[in-house]
Amino acid sequence: MKHLFFLVLCLTAAIAAHAESNQPEAGTQQKFISGGTVRMHLEAGGYTISAADSDDIVVTYRAHSLERLKKVKVAIKPAASTADVYITNTPHNNFSATIEVPRQSNLWVRLTAGDLRVEDIEGDKNIEMLAGQLDISVPHLEAYGHRDASVTSGSIEASAFNISKGGLFRSFEQQGPGRYLLHAHLLAGEIDLIGTE
Domain ranges, ordered by start, for the chain: 2-195
Q: Is 5 exposed, middle or buried (0-12, 13-18, 19+ CB in 10 A)?
A: middle
| pLDDT band with cut points at 50, 70 and 90 for residue 32 | very high
pTM: 0.87
Q: What is the pLDDT of residue 19?
A: 41
The chain-wide mean pLDDT, for the chain, equals 89
Residue 158 has pLDDT above 80, yes or no: yes
Determine the Cα–Cα distance for residues 80 and 36; give it in Å rounded to an integer.
8
Residue 7 has pLDDT above 50, yes or no: no
Determine the Cα–Cα distance for residues 143 and 177; give it in Å rounded to an integer.
7
Q: What is the pLDDT of residue 14?
A: 45
Q: What is the pLDDT of residue 191?
A: 97
Residue 6 has pLDDT above 70, yes or no: no
Adjacent-strand bridge partners of 137: 194
- For 19-37, b/e burial (b = at least 16 CB within 10 A) is beeebeeeeeeeebeeebb
